[in-house]
Amino acid sequence: MAEKLTKDLIRGNTDMLVLNFLNEGDSYGYAIAKKIKERSNEAYSINEATLYTVFRRLEKNQDIEGYWGDETQGSRRKYYRITDHGKSALKENIENWNFSKRIIDQLLQGEE
Amino acid sequence: MAEKLTKDLIRGNTDMLVLNFLNEGDSYGYAIAKKIKERSNEAYSINEATLYTVFRRLEKNQDIEGYWGDETQGSRRKYYRITDHGKSALKENIENWNFSKRIIDQLLQGEE
DNA sequence: CACATTACTTTGACACACAAAGTAGTGTGT
DNA sequence: ACACACTACTTTGTGTGTCAAAGTAATGTG
């Protein structure tokens, strides 16, 4: 039985992951989805609907800004860039993630 | 700004945490809730409704078995014991958790 | 010209965590 | 005697995030 990254375990981390990718440079949905799959060694594929939900959530929260690319060929792409607000949100998300990991591991350990 | 263990980050881990406590010995709802709070240094308090939802889910899945304690005083307590099925579920949960941590951290890193 | 691939979007379902409120017994203070 | 705090379990209803499925549309390939 192989280990799994279930949807309940990924929950609450998708925003952080997307922000983290955009922090490396502007990108668009399809590319991010592919990168996530690659960089996780196929362990996790973000669902398209989830990804676009994340974009909408982050955009609403002014963590990212979207703009249409001027593709001369291929399908049109909607790029996103991370804002300063998004950068500090990313930082906070990572801190929360590290904190949560520690607490959960502590609860599993037994010792305080 | 203090770090937080949000409900979305705890999601999917509650079953594992409860199983882990029951693996240390039979216990009941209220006591587990208190222990979780203590052992996390007040960082996380499981909501009562959540806890009883977890019990029902685990019981349905035959990971735990409930029985009424014979309190001669105080409120009646419903104890739970972990089953063999529950023990292997716990093991699996912990493996998934460790795996997920690794994948998410890998996604945050950049390097594969 | 059918099919794969890139690329974005909408709709609806589902599971989990939780807030709020309720029931009920015991212990403590005044 | 009565209010209040605490232990202890339960039910109901709500919100959010993820996802499956399906759709639109353009380009590239055998």
Please, how many CA atoms are within 13 Å of residue B55, restricted to the half-sphere of its CB? Answer: 22
Residues in B whose CB is inside 8 Å of some CB of A read 1, 3-13, 16-17, 20, 24, 36, 38-41, 43-44, 92, 94-101, 103-104, 106-108, 110, 112
Task: Check pLDDT > 70 for residue B111.
Answer: no
Residue B54, nucleotide of least CA–C1' distance: C16
Extents of the domains making up chain A = 10-105
Q: Is the pLDDT of residue A111 over 70?
A: no
Q: From CA A30, how far away is CA B7, in angstroms rounded?
A: 29
Residue of B77, B99, B93, B1 whose CA lies nearest to B33: B77
DSSP state of A62: T
Q: Which nucleotides of C are covered by protein (CB under 7 A)?
A: 6-12, 15-21, 24-27
CB A44, CB A38: distance < 8 Å: no
Largest CA distance in chain B: 60
Query: A10-105 is classed in which CATH architecture?
Result: Orthogonal Bundle (1.10)
pLDDT at A1: 55
Q: Which residues of A touch B17 (CB under 8 A)?
A: 104, 107-108
Can you tell me the distance from the alpha carbon of A22 to that of A27, in angstroms, rounded to the nearest whole number?
6
DSSP β-bridge partners for residue B28:
B79
pLDDT tens per residue, range B31-72: 999 999 999 999 999 999 999 999 999 999 999 999 998 777
Stated pTM of the model: 0.89
